[in-house]
């Protein structure tokens, strides 16, 4: 068997009384995208910071690209890139100045750093913004510049910590394209996300984590299959009657009913298609008119609900990534000064 990109056993990290990562096992193959999915505070950032050797585990063991995180952190840092959930670019510098600075830190001559920087800006559709200060960039542009910065040297393994949290859908699609391009170039990616759809779209395998523990692992299809054979989705004609419809579905199908963000939509697990007919009859008898009705595979939202007993994180507000809400998670790690600048990738030689 080829050596995996990451092999972790029983990883533990405590912050005072709070066990942020509580015995995590991960086995991540080389190549492709591995998704770590979980709500805010689940322990995603803490887990990847341990694997990126920015934070020392309190227990367990891990090898990254064949190197032990305790014994050979330097060898690991030389081979990886880490893009932080909270971009750490110099706001007062322009896009190109940020990349040149990083390139110089990584040992490029200024001419070579500039050439590499311009190539990356072009690849990330930021050429027009090259000479603009980063503080004037949108959230999506920042995120792209941050990823560009971590690619000055092509890494074997890249950690992308919530690369699309709080950015608009168009930028999200651009970041997805970038991620797919990186994978096509041979880089292994460990992606954390709160977005089920993102994990579903990108990741070949997913670990779902909650309260510091891996609660499920597998391909998106396997995770979906775990919760049952299918799903029933309905949209009521009058959103005002959704609650009534939800009660009827719960009663006739006997599974938990998910209120989707669309105010007229409901979905539920369906292990037996015949139950759908019973539900439909009951809705009709009650005079609840349906606009659409569909049988399908369960969504990852339903998987999450089934696994954790609570709905997945609702979409954060668009400023989420720029507010200090994530304060504790990003506080400077005393173990290693590089922890203060997870986005720079400056820990590589």
Q: Which residues bind Mg ion (CB under 5 A)?
A: 44-45, 85
**Residue span binding ligand ADP (CB under 6 A) among the ranges 3-11, 12-20, 199-207, 245-253:** 12-20
Q: Is residue 20 close enough to count as binding ligand ADP by CB under 6 A? A: yes
Residue 329 CB, shortest distance to ligand ADP, in Å, is 3
Beta bridge partners of 9: 61
Beta bridge partners of 188: 157
Cβ proximity to ligand ADP: between 48 and 248 the closer is 48
Q: Is residue 121 close enough to count as binding ligand ADP by CB under 6 A? A: no
Q: Measured between alpha carbons, how far is 145 from 129 in angstroms, rounded to an integer?
A: 10
**Residue span binding ligand ADP (CB under 6 A) among the ranges 97-105, 141-149, 314-322, 326-334:** 326-334
- State how far Cα 179 lies from the chain centre: 12
Cβ proximity to ligand ADP: between 43 and 342 the closer is 43
Residue 259 CB, shortest distance to Mg ion, in Å, is 26
Residue 249 CB, shortest distance to Mg ion, in Å, is 35
Instruction: For 159-171, give one letter per residue: b (16+ CB within 10 A) or e.
Output: bbbbbbbbbeeeb
From ligand ADP, Mg ion, none, interface partner of 20 (C-beta below 5 to 8 A by class): ligand ADP
Binding-site member from 186, 328, 334, 337 for ligand ADP (CB under 6 A): 328
32 contacts 179 by C-beta, under 8 angstroms? no
Cβ proximity to ligand ADP: between 20 and 279 the closer is 20
Q: Measured between alpha carbons, how far is 104 from 100 in angstroms, rounded to an integer?
A: 6
Contact flags string 22-61 toward ligand ADP, x per CB under 6 A:
----------------x-xxxxxxx---------------
Alpha helices in the chain (DSSP H): 44-51, 73-79, 95-105, 110-123, 139-149, 169-184, 196-202, 220-226, 242-253, 274-285, 300-308, 327-330
From Mg ion, ligand ADP, none, interface partner of 36 (C-beta below 5 to 8 A by class): none
Cβ proximity to ligand ADP: between 123 and 316 the closer is 316
DSSP string, 88-117: ---TTSBHHHHHHHHHHHTT--HHHHHHHH
In angstroms, what is the C-alpha Rg of the chain?
A: 22
| Closest to 41 in 3D by CA, of 335, 327, 259 | 327
Q: Which residue is nearest to Mg ion (CB)?
A: 45
Cβ proximity to ligand ADP: between 189 and 234 the closer is 189
Q: Is residue 310 close enough to count as binding ligand ADP by CB under 6 A? A: no
From ligand ADP, Mg ion, none, interface partner of 38 (C-beta below 5 to 8 A by class): ligand ADP
Q: Measured between alpha carbons, how far is 102 from 98 in angstroms, rounded to an integer?
A: 6
Burial (CB < 10 A; 0-12, 13-18, 19+), residue 285, is: exposed
Residue 266 CB, shortest distance to ligand ADP, in Å, is 29
Residue 76 CB, shortest distance to ligand ADP, in Å, is 19
Q: Measured between alpha carbons, how far is 256 from 249 in angstroms, rounded to an integer?
A: 9
Instruction: For 245-267, give one letter per residue: b (16+ CB within 10 A) or e.
Output: bbebbeebbebebbebeeebbbb
Cβ proximity to ligand ADP: between 33 and 236 the closer is 33
| Closest to 239 in 3D by CA, of 284, 283, 280, 291 | 291
Residue 248 CB, shortest distance to Mg ion, in Å, is 39
Residue 260 CB, shortest distance to ligand ADP, in Å, is 24
Q: Where on the chain is the footprint of ligand ADP (CB under 6 A)? A: 15, 18, 20, 38, 40-46, 328-329, 331
């Amino acid at each position: 068997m080829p050596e995996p990109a990451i092999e972790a056993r029983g990883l533990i990290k405590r912050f005072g009384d709070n066990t942020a990562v509580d015995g995590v096992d991960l086995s991540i193959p080389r190549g492709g995208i591995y998704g770590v999915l979980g709500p805010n505070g689940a322990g995603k950032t803490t887990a990847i910071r341990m694997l990126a050797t920015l934070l020392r585990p309190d227990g367990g063991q891990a090898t990254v690209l064949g190197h032990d995180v305790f014994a050979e952190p330097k060898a690991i840092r030389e081979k990886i890139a880490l893009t932080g959930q909270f971009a750490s670019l110099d706001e007062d510098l322009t896009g190109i100045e940020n990349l040149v600075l990083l390139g110089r830190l990584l040992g490029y001559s200024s001419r070579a750093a500039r050439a590499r920087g311009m190539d990356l800006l072009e690849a990330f559709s930021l050429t027009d913004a090259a000479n603009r200060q980063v503080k004037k960039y949108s959230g999506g542009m920042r995120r792209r510049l941050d990823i560009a910065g971590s690619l000055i040297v092509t890494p074997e393994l890249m950690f992308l910590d919530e690369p699309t949290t709080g950015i608009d859908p168009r930028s999200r699609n651009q970041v997805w394209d970038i991620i797919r391009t990186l994978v096509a170039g041979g880089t292994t990616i460990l992606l954390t996300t709160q977005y089920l759809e993102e994990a579903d779209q990108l990741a070949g395998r997913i670990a779902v984590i909650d309260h510091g523990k891996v609660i499920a692992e597998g391909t998106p299809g396997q995770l979906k299959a775990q919760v049952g054979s299918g799903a029933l989705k309905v949209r009521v004609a009058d959103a005002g009657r959704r609650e009534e419809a939800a009660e009827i579905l719960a009663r006739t199908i006997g599974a938990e009913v998910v209120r989707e963000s669309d105010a007229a939509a409901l979905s539920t697990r369906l292990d037996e298609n015949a139950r759908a007919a019973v539900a439909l009859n009951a809705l009709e008898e009650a005079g609840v008119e349906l606009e659409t009705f569909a049988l399908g595979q369960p969504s990852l939202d339903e998987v999450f609900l089934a696994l954790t007993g609570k709905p997945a994180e609702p979409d954060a507000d668009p400023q989420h990534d720029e507010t200090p809400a994530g304060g504790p998670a990003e506080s400077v790690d005393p173990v290693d000064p590089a922890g203060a600048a997870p986005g720079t990738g400056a820990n590589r030689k």
